[in-house]
């Protein structure tokens, strides 16, 4: 009798211990490497990133490239929004992170005027770079990678071919027979659908379905529950040949080219950072980025591995 009581008493303890173990184990499982070291000796550089796939990939690329070039690169990815990442940069908690030229003008550096009015990626970059340089502490926005990650309106291939749709104006004309699968944020932010309607007033969809889940929006399109969708031009799902991105002749959105933003004092101390990261940026283009994003989002691969593979193929690391 007495022994059974002891045994029974031990059970809750065992269960509590197991629960604790589970919590700890779960805490360490995650899709992203939120903190880790790239290795290498040398001066410590902390690399940050925002909290979506492309950012994780770029962040990991910066870490690995720097580590291969004599730096002790530390990753502090998954910081959150651009506000959080920027704060970390200015506080010195990180030394650099990837930011988009358009985003810098829209949300970070003071910029008078509408960033969408800048009519070239170069002009957008110059304005962002200037804005960053004039801050205190100053930052340097390095040369961007040569691709634009902006909103993209895309159409199912069969619909696009049947109606001869190649750009937004043509799509607008045919929109009253088409169904648009969108999401709440895009429909309600001023640079989202309202911006589209303002510039292409012919838009008048037969139906707009609001589905607040990116994967479901894309699968809804592929299954024919909608004809038109919206996403980002580097979404991995756009590697599908079933979707055609509409050209935007009026260029209604700012250019969002990704570039490393480094604290100027750090860059001055270690000017080699610029050369290393320029090499990374130059190795990318929109098709490659879509491909890499797709490997993470669709093939469930780890951003760290995807970054490594790309850098190896580009000859930037061994």
Binding site for another protein (CB under 8 A): 81, 181, 183-185, 188-189, 209-213, 216, 220, 223, 225
| Nearest distance from C-beta of residue 193 to another protein, angstroms | 12
In terms of C-beta density within 10 A (0-12 exposed, 13-18 middle, 19 or more buried), how is residue 127 classed?
buried
| Nearest distance from C-beta of residue 265 to another protein, angstroms | 30
Q: Answer yes or no: are the C-beta atoms of 248 and 166 closer than 8 Å.
A: no
Pairing of strands 36-39, 44-48: unpaired
Angle between helices 303-313 and 286-297 (to 10 degrees): 150
Nearer to another protein, 39 or 215 (CB): 215
Token pair in block for residue 127: 């304005």
Nearer to another protein, 170 or 191 (CB): 191
The torsion defined by the Cα of 205, 206, 211 and 216, in degrees rounded to 10, comes to -100
Nearer to another protein, 66 or 211 (CB): 211
**Cβ-based neighbour number of residue 123 at 10 Å:** 14
Nearer to another protein, 93 or 188 (CB): 188
Q: Answer yes or no: are the C-beta atoms of 231 and 154 closer than 8 Å.
A: yes
**Cβ-based neighbour number of residue 137 at 10 Å:** 12
| Nearest distance from C-beta of residue 269 to another protein, angstroms | 34
| Nearest distance from C-beta of residue 188 to another protein, angstroms | 6
Tell me how far apart the 2 most distant CA atoms of the chain are, in Å: 85
| Nearest distance from C-beta of residue 216 to another protein, angstroms | 6
| Nearest distance from C-beta of residue 36 to another protein, angstroms | 28
Nearer to another protein, 149 or 281 (CB): 149
Query: What is the DSSP-derived secondary structure letter of residue 137?
Result: S
Token pair in block for residue 45: 């550089």
| Nearest distance from C-beta of residue 104 to another protein, angstroms | 17
Nearer to another protein, 185 or 305 (CB): 185
Pairing of strands 139-141, 258-263: antiparallel
| Nearest distance from C-beta of residue 294 to another protein, angstroms | 21
| Nearest distance from C-beta of residue 34 to another protein, angstroms | 20
Nearer to another protein, 179 or 233 (CB): 179
Nearer to another protein, 219 or 239 (CB): 219
Is residue 107 classed as helix, strand or coil in its secondary structure? helix
User: H-type helices in the chain, by residue range?
Assistant: 2-28, 53-67, 82-91, 101-103, 121-133, 157-163, 168-174, 184-188, 193-199, 214-222, 264-269, 272-282, 286-297, 303-313
Nearer to another protein, 105 or 307 (CB): 105
On the question of a cis peptide bond just before residue 216, with omega within 30 degrees of 0, the verdict is: no
Is residue 36 classed as helix, strand or coil in its secondary structure? strand
């Amino acid at each position: 009798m007495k022994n059974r009581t002891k045994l029974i008493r031990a059970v809750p303890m065992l269960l509590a211990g197991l629960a604790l173990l589970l919590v700890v184990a779960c805490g360490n499982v995650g899709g992203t490497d939120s903190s880790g070291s790239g290795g290498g000796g040398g001066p410590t550089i902390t690399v940050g990133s925002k909290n979506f796939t492309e950012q994780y990939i770029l962040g990991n690329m910066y870490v690995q490239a720097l580590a291969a070039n004599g730096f002790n690169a530390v990753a502090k990815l998954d910081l959150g929004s651009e506000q959080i990442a920027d704060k970390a940069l200015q506080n010195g908690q990180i030394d650099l992170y990837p930011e988009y030229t358009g985003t810098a003008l829209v949300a970070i550096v003071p910029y008078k005027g509408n960033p969408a009015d800048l009519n070239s990626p170069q002009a957008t970059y110059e304005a962002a770079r200037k804005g960053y340089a004039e801050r205190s502490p100053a930052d340097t926005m390095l040369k961007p990678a040569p691709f634009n990650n902006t909103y993209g309106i895309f159409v199912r291939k069969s619909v696009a071919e049947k109606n001869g749709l190649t750009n937004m104006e043509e799509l607008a004309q045919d929109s009253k027979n088409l169904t648009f699968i969108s999401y709440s944020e895009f429909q309600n932010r001023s640079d989202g659908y309202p911006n589209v309607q303002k510039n292409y007033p012919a838009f008048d969809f037969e139906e707009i379905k609001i589905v607040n889940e990116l994967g479901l929006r894309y699968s809804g399109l592929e299954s024919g529950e909608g004809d038109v969708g919206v996403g980002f031009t580097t979404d991995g799902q756009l590697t599908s040949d079933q979707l055609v991105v509409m050209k935007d002749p009026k260029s209604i959105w700012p250019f969002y080219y990704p570039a490393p933003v480094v604290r100027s004092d750090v860059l001055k101390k270690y000017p080699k950072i610029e050369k290393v990261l320029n090499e990374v940026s130059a190795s990318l283009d929109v098709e490659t980025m879509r491909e890499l994003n797709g490997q993470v989002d669709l093939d469930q691969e780890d951003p760290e591995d995807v970054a490594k593979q790309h850098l190896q193929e580009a000859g930037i690391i061994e």
